[in-house]
Amino acid sequence: MGLRRRFGPLLALAAPLAFGCAATDSPADAAPDRCEMEGCRWVFSLSLDLPTTWETMRGSTVTVCRNGACAAGSYSCLPESPGVDVGRACPLPTVDVGGIAVMVSAHVFVAAGGAMYLHVTWDAYSPGDYTSPGDTYRVEVREPAGAAIVDHTEVVAEYEITYPNGSSCRPTCHEATIDRRATPAP
């Protein structure tokens, strides 16, 4: 587990105290060069059930699109054994969105009981706001014979605005986190 993921919540709480970016500071009082400790997580996150087997997933393909810009790849690099509660994925190419190279991921997770789910993220490596209400995301997973395992479209009505370093500090993030699994995580 990366340091950002493990300690991110603590850093987000400590940054305003350590660097003077308390939420009560006015934007003029904040020193942006002292505030940038946490970046945006993602623009879009979607979790979906995967009604198939690990063996079938190992030969499947995945396509993730946002407003027609797509990243496509294969799960051929998955190991023979999935591991439990560990996300596994094969690299997908970056997608150019208005000059911003965006990373897309589609991790496969296997729960302790054997149920599988897909966790897709459309990352926000640039704090630039390239989101709009009505953005349409599409996720498609196809088995080796071509039949659809998942064919899901999600339209984001509105993005949540977050400030990982406090409202007086950059960046301002736009996020949509959606869980469509039959039994969402607690």
| Res 33: pLDDT | 53
User: What mean pLDDT is predicted for residues 127-153?
Assistant: 90
Which residues 6+ apart lie within 8 Å of 69 measured at CB?
95, 96, 97
Distance CA 80, CA 60 (A): 14
- Give 37-84 as a DSSP string: S----EEEEEEEEE-S-HHHHTT-EEEEEETTEEEEEE-TT--SS--S
Instruction: Judge whether 111 and 84 are in contact, CB under 8 Å.
Output: yes
Which residues 6+ apart lie within 8 Å of 112 measured at CB?
84, 85
Q: pTM of the entire structure? A: 0.76
Instruction: Judge whether 139 and 124 are in contact, CB under 8 Å.
Output: no
Instruction: Judge whether 80 and 40 are in contact, CB under 8 Å.
Output: no
Domain spans in the chain, listed from the N-terminal domain onward: 40-179
**pLDDT range class, residue 83, cuts 50, 70, 90:** confident
**pLDDT range class, residue 169, cuts 50, 70, 90:** confident
User: What mean pLDDT is predicted for residues 162-166?
Assistant: 87
Distance CA 110, CA 104 (A): 20
Distance CA 81, CA 88 (A): 10
